[in-house]
């Protein structure tokens, strides 16, 4: 059972960053990476769970909840 999700996690991360008024350099500093890596994250449809956890903690936003909702939706089909 390999179904593609409707979640584009990079877009959701970018949306949250913008809503919080955070700068790209701020996120890069907290992730200990270059700004170009942050832009790369914004373009990803999927992401490593350890990195997603780190981003969730930094932004105080549970990005895993999107997958929980998608999981529940897929089970209800």
DSSP 75: H
pLDDT at 3: 60
Q: pTM for this one? A: 0.89
- Report residues of the chain scoring pLDDT below 50: 1-2
Reduced to 3 states (helix: H, G, I; strand: E, B; else coil), residue 57 is helix
Q: Does 23 map to a domain?
A: yes
**CATH code: domain of residue 64:** 1.10.260.40
| 4 located within any domain | no
Rounded CA gap, 24 and 17, in Å? 8
Any domain includes 32: yes
Domain assignment present for residue 43? The answer is: yes
Residue 1 belongs to some domain of the structure = no
CB 45 within 8 A of CB 9: yes
Q: What is the extent of the structural domain holding 19? A: 9-76
Residue 40 · residue 75 · CB < 8 Å: no
Given this model, what pLDDT does residue 1 score? 44
- If one counts the domains in the chain, the total is 1
């Amino acid at each position: 059972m390999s179904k593609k999700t409707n979640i584009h996690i990079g877009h959701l991360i970018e949306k949250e960053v913008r809503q919080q008024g955070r700068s790209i350099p701020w996120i890069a500093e907290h992730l200990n990476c270059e700004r170009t890596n942050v832009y790369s994250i914004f373009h990803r449809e999927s992401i490593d769970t350890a990195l997603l956890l780190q981003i969730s903690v930094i932004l105080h936003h549970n990005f895993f909840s999107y997958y929980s909702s998608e999981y529940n939706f897929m089970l209800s089909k």
